[in-house]
Structure 1
Amino acid sequence: MSTPFIRNHQYNVIKKQSEFLLKTLRSVADRGVLETVRYSAVTNIVEAFPVVTEEQRRMLESILACETAYDFQSYLSGFERYLEPFPAITEKQIQKLFPKSKKLKIPDLPSVDFRYITYLSWVDIATSRLFIVYPLEGQFVGIEGRITPTNKKGYCMFCNRHQELAFFSVRTKPSHPSPDNISAIGQYVCMDNQACNQSITDTEQLEKFILHARK
């Protein structure tokens, strides 16, 4: 039986390192440089996993034997059955996360390939609001806020990818509650949430933002 052990952001690390190594193999002839890049790639991949078994480590390190595009494709394909999908969630669970949104529009969950998402998100175009659901410390957390296109490119806070950005602003609880005291945090994030999920390689900034937004 294949026990899943690879989360989406870790799979993205594997993809990124595979693509970089293949590109290097195609453009660099110096064997010394190639070996340096090869071992750097495998180090970056293994370090993306805080805990792995010896068998899992051997699987990850098998990139050292890849030479051709076919080798790399086979290497990546071999991990698909080990992908740990985003935890199962129902529409009712999502609705409970956003009790103030009475007319909450929920994405078509059956159409989502949960193997390839780190966070579930969608935009309600009518209200210009972005909703994010994330499993944090064993529980689902939901945050929502206003999303405003910037019409410019920059680096997304979540995936650190240079892409079209939007400003995501979330209201938070002020340190001194009063009718006139409003607190909020905001960050620039990808306009394309699906592409963001395909690029994110580390959850630290995403989790920091969510924890801050919940305070």
Structure 2
Amino acid sequence: MVNPFIRNHQYNLIKKQTGLLEHACNTVSDRKVIDAVRYSAQSKIMEALPDTNDLQKQVLEKISTLNTPGEFQHYLSSLVPYMAEFAPLTESQVKKLFPKIKKLKVPELAEIDYRYMTYLGWIDIATNKLFIVYHLNGQIVGVVGKYTPANKKSYCCLCNRHEEVAFCVVTTKSKPANASPDYYKAIGKYVCLNSETCNKNITDVTALEKFIQDVE
């Protein structure tokens, strides 16, 4: 039996590479070109999951045998049972991350499918605040920032996709040793207004983790 080992962002990458290969199979007649796309897709998937064991590799490498639309769909569906959940959160856990926020409005956590989540994100329209909760190095961390809707599409710094974004400004928690009492540093980034969309797009957590580490 193969235990869950594919995180949401990795599944998104697999889905993207599978889509590229399916498109090539449907539109390209040159077998060498298709084989090159197939090799590239398989290589990128294996690079994204470097710590897989032999059984897990066998599950992923089935992409090398796909040709028809039905086979591609079955491949993606067959991977869902191997998706590892974002560790479920309780309301009290989330509230402890933001002790300065009174009357914090927490999303309906029981309604979330944690398999399809890389981070928990939501906005509070009343206070113009954007919240992010993530598991980093074995700990739950929370980030809160002021957001301003951009009223246009641009590239999200977290998922690197062209979506409706907001400019989010976060005040860093750390201060230099000799900093004055009124010292503060803020970091601003464009992020998806809709975290559900962002979670469907994200294929790499490098930018997300760097953003969190920069403001911690």
> Aligned residue for 1:131?
131
> Aligned residue for 1:9?
9
SS at match of 2:16: helix
Please give the per-residue CA displacement for 1:41-80, whole angstroms capped at 9, x wherever unaligned: 0001111012011111111110111111110111011111
Q: Number of aligned residue pairs: give it.
A: 214
Contact preservation (8 Å) 1:160, 1:200? yes
Please give the per-residue CA displacement for 1:3-29, whole angstroms capped at 9, x wherever unaligned: 110000000011000111111111111
Structure 1 runs of 4+ aligned residues shifted over 6 Å read none
Q: Greater shift after overlay, 179-188 or 61-70?
A: 179-188
Contact preservation (8 Å) 2:122, 2:194? no
TM-score of the superposed pair, with normalisation by structure 1: 0.96
> Aligned residue for 1:114?
114
Residue type matched to 2:60 in 1?
Answer: L
Residue type matched to 1:181 in 2?
Answer: Y
SS at match of 2:153: strand
TM-score of the superposed pair, with normalisation by structure 2: 0.96
Give me the whole-angstrom Cα distance separating, in 1, the residues matched to 2:119 and 2:69: 30
Give me the whole-angstrom Cα distance separating, in 1, the residues matched to 2:47 and 2:154: 27
Q: Percent identity?
A: 52
1:192 aligns with 2:194: yes
Residue type matched to 1:57 in 2?
Answer: K
Structure 2 residues not aligned, in runs of 5+: none
Please give the per-residue CA displacement for 1:115-170, whole angstroms capped at 9, x wherever unaligned: 00100011011001011100011110001001111112221111111112211110
SS at match of 1:189: strand
Give me the whole-angstrom Cα distance separating, in 2, the residues matched to 1:6 and 1:129: 31
CA RMSD of aligned residues (A): 1.1
Contact preservation (8 Å) 2:2, 2:55? no
SS at match of 1:18: helix
CA drift at 1:190: 1.1
Contact preservation (8 Å) 1:7, 1:83? yes
> Aligned residue for 1:46?
46
